Structure 1
Amino acid sequence: MKKSNSEHEFITLLGRFFTEYLPVSVNASPNTIASYKCAFRLLFQYLDEETEIKIGYITFEVLDFDLLTKYFDWLITSRKNSRATAKQRLAALASFADYSESRNLEAAYIFKNSLKKISKKTFRKVKSKPRNSFTREELAVLFSLPDTTEKLGWRDLVLLSVMYSSGARAQEICNLTVKDVMHDEKGNAILTLVGKGEKSRRVKITSDATQLLDKYIATRKISMKPDAHIFPSQRNEHLSVAAIEEIYEKYTQKAKEEHPNLFCRGPYTPHVMRHTTATHLIEAGVPLAIVKNILGHTSIQTTQIYLDISQQTVDRSMEQWNEKWFSKNNPDENTLPQEENGIPDFLK
């Protein structure tokens, strides 16, 4: 059977959506693109297994309300997807519908409006999980737990402090290298963080966190190695996200055992620390637009004032927050672990 123009159009637009629009025009992160691809693979799987429609013959017209409703029912009943996960699949399809409508309004009209009806009918009661954050009392406990006389404990305190001070994502901390750490005229560290979609931003951290970070780099003797990752694991040059998650789990479990009245709203993941940073910044009076800049958030709701914020304004707001809220956790330099290798630096 020869394919019609409408069949060619759907596949052609879908291909451009994934190869041009998402990675280039939108600069979507690899994780977002992978999630969107999964949604369409599942749609194709449903069409192949449950209908007589083959992938090469999909058109916008066949993706009507009835078919798409059955697809999402299949996701929830047969695939055992949660309603929240199914809603994420719908968001992927809706993004493609918006893209397609701007290129062929008539063809994509039924597809887009069917998704809107399903969103209102099926997913209007699906709510995001409430965001969690550490209290200041919990932070004080958390920062007191790492044993800074041990290499791993010393690393963990610096990692926790830098994540709180910067609001960095776990992956951004994994990727952080010596060359990503600069200093301003006052000596405070400025981190270059590469976030979602390979977008970089500069974040100034607190003076206390700077002292910890500088001492840590010095004790590791990597200050002259610009490509060295700052936070290593026991076996590899840098940590993984899973390893950072284990660090948080380790200390929050220990904290819960020692303080059963605290840490009652878990689980406490690295992202909770990021949310804590945002919460404390807002409580300190830092404008929401600046908080978005510091955290590297982007969305269609981002305002023009956020886009026009200068780095100087961001630095000034961070300094004000630093002086007001950041707790001091600076161990005695004499107790810090030293490298056991006695080979002089000039021979390495």
Structure 2
Amino acid sequence: MELTNSNIVEDLKRWEKAFFTEFSQKNRLENTIAQYHRVIERFIEYSRSIQDEVTLKTINSLVIVNFFTFLENIPTLRRNNKKNGKILTNVTKRNYINILRAFFTYIEDNNDEMHSFSKIFHKLKFNSFEKQEEKISYLNEQEIQRLLTYLDNIYLKNGKTIRIRNVLLIKLMLFAGLRVTEALNVRLIDFSINEASKIYQIRLPMAKGGKEQIAYISARHIQLELEALKTIYDPYEFIMVSENKNHLARENAYLIVNAIYKKAGINKKGCHILRHTLAMRLTEEGVSLATVKKILRHSNISTTTIYAKATAKGVGEALEKI
């Protein structure tokens, strides 16, 4: 069976179906099957929050550690497990790990590439279960300033359309929190400005989950890029295209962004860290979880709580702070 043929969520679902087809035929008790199903379903739910940065091939022990942070922020678990302030005991964690180990061992034994997952669980130790806030990869303030200085003062000097496009791509992820797949599908027609607040609303017809969503960004961050691109692109065309008008692939976007990081003196990689950067900046500014959830368009606030706890502010006011 192919190890991967889609994103991590769809791949895990495919393997889950195959796993339970065999697992349920081995005279397992109904309660055992239900428990395995619950744990694997929760892991798949968690994987939705990392699908832009992790694939089935690149899962590591940190992904498993962060899964437990995700679990401990699920509201139903918090309500039902208040004893001594602990959400998951070590016994429960071991049980979850054993179930995940069995699931990934099945994938290891049945994938065509003979890809191994054993080292993930071999390296896993319970003293590694730290707060995920400390493990999230994001740009600090110095790195952000180095990136913006490089983009504005060096990268854009020759004014090439492709470079303007690349700057917009980065700023949409850094200041609006777009996922890379969402940023790659924007068109000029999708941007509308609220003149009073100077906030752009970005219509995302191809957002995560296939549902149309609205993202927000302060006009001052992208006004120059949009004005320049309006003289070049048809409003209904995708902005993120090559010189030959081919739609920019996600893999190429990673290469572009990573190359810009390197030129800016930033020793980090990946597109999704820009979205993480927005989330961390907002929470560090004391923005309420409800507002951060709205800006990041999380479907479940338990995903938002991974970043931090904060106090209430409006979307426009919050975006003006960064």
TMscore range, shorter length: 0.5 to 0.7
Q: Distance in 2 between matches of 1:249 and 1:81?
A: 18
Offset of 1:283 from its aligned partner?
Answer: 2.2
Secondary structure at the aligned position of 1:205 is classed as strand
Partner of 2:293: 292
Let me know the Cα RMSD of the aligned residues. Answer: 4.0
Q: Which moved more, 1:269-278 or 1:213-222?
A: 213-222
Secondary structure at the aligned position of 2:286 is classed as coil
Q: Does 1:36 align with 2:13?
A: yes
Q: Is the 8 A contact 2:165 2:240 kept in 1?
A: yes
Partner of 1:283: 284
Q: Does 1:162 align with 2:172?
A: yes
Question: Aligned AA for 1:231?
Answer: M
Partner of 2:95: 118
- List aligned pairs for 1:117-266, cutoff 5 A: 118-119=95-96, 125=126, 127=129, 130-143=135-148, 144-145=150-151, 146-148=155-157, 149-186=159-196, 188-193=199-204, 194-223=206-235, 226=236, 228-256=237-265, 263-264=266-267, 266=268
Offset of 1:235 from its aligned partner?
Answer: 3.7
Q: Distance in 1 between matches of 2:279 and 2:216?
A: 14
Partner of 2:317: 320
Q: Distance in 1 between matches of 2:209 and 2:8?
A: 9
**Structure 1 residues 281, 42: CA separation in 2 closer, same or farther (over 3 Å shift)?**
same
Question: Which ranges in structure 2 are unaligned for 5 or more consecutive residues?
Answer: 1-5, 37-56, 69-90, 99-120, 305-311
Question: Aligned AA for 2:201?
Answer: I
TM-score (norm 2): 0.59
Question: Which ranges in structure 1 are unaligned for 5 or more consecutive residues?
Answer: 1-28, 48-52, 69-79, 92-113, 257-262, 304-313, 326-348
Q: Is the 8 A contact 1:176 1:230 kept in 2?
A: yes
**Structure 1 residues 317, 63: CA separation in 2 closer, same or farther (over 3 Å shift)?**
closer
**Structure 1 residues 159, 30: CA separation in 2 closer, same or farther (over 3 Å shift)?**
closer
- List aligned pairs for 1:63-82, cutoff 5 A: none
Q: Is the 8 A contact 2:174 2:277 kept in 1?
A: yes
Q: Is the 8 A contact 1:177 1:229 kept in 2?
A: yes
Offset of 1:41 from its aligned partner?
Answer: 3.0
Question: Aligned AA for 2:276?
Answer: H
Q: Residue deviations 1:209-241, cap 9 Å, x none?
A: 241342133132323xx2x11221234443222
Q: Distance in 2 between matches of 1:297 and 1:118?
A: 28
Question: Aligned AA for 1:291?
Answer: V
Q: Residue deviations 1:77-127, cap 9 Å, x none?
A: xxx996649959x99xxxxxxxxxxxxxxxxxxxxxx99763266777365
Q: Distance in 2 between matches of 1:81 and 1:206?
A: 34
Q: Distance in 2 between matches of 1:302 and 1:231?
A: 28
Q: Distance in 2 between matches of 1:276 and 1:219?
A: 31
Q: Distance in 2 between matches of 1:197 and 1:219?
A: 32
Q: Distance in 1 between matches of 2:156 and 2:11?
A: 39
Percent identity for Structure 1 against Structure 2: 22
**Structure 1 residues 299, 120: CA separation in 2 closer, same or farther (over 3 Å shift)?**
same
**Structure 1 residues 234, 58: CA separation in 2 closer, same or farther (over 3 Å shift)?**
farther
Q: Is the 8 A contact 2:215 2:297 kept in 1?
A: no
Q: Distance in 2 between matches of 1:35 and 1:298?
A: 20
Secondary structure at the aligned position of 1:163 is classed as helix
Offset of 1:251 from its aligned partner?
Answer: 0.8
- Aligned pair count reads 232
